[in-house]
Amino acid sequence: MVEDVNVVSAQGPDLRIASAGVLGPPTIGVTVYITALVQNTGPISTGTWFFLDAYIDSATPPAPRAAGPYYAIVPALPEGASLLVTVTVPALSEGTHTFYLQAATYVPGEGNDPSFGRVAETNEENNIGGAYTFTVGLIKVYLPIVMR
């Protein structure tokens, strides 16, 4: 006997980190600005704001939905929309640093759910971007040559 099965695909927002980088070049003693292109590739708006979290010098990717030490608040993203978001990080030491980003993390008391953060998505497993690297260096000062 053959039965007809009706397959319905899940419809909802789907957040991803399309790309990321650092405004710079970053220098010692200066705030670091991490930028990320956050996309909603789903066919439905997120319907609410959500967090974009940054994790600096983590040896492994963050746990799904785990809040990071640095974050930005992202406004609701319509279906198919992208937004360039900046996360501000205090000055870092000289050297190479690694970072990860995660969209829609869970923060207790912020009107969200530990199983999906603030936005219930069709795919909760693709919200992490990274590892990305950047180098913090010395400030370079160029003085003019003065000839007599």
Q: Per-residue pLDDT for the chain (148 aa), expressed as one digit of tens each?
A: 666 554 445 689 999 999 999 998 999 999 999 999 999 999 999 999 999 999 999 999 999 999 999 999 999 999 999 999 999 999 999 999 999 999 999 888 877 778 888 899 999 899 999 999 999 998 777 777 777 7
Provide the 3-class DSSP secondary structure of residue 8. Answer: coil
CB atoms within 10 A of CB 31: 12
Q: End-to-end CA distance of the chain, in Å?
A: 99
- Largest interatomic CA distance in the chain: 99
pLDDT of residue 2: 65
pLDDT of residue 147: 75
Outline where 90-141 has alpha helix (H).
none
- Cβ contact 104:129 at 8 Å: no
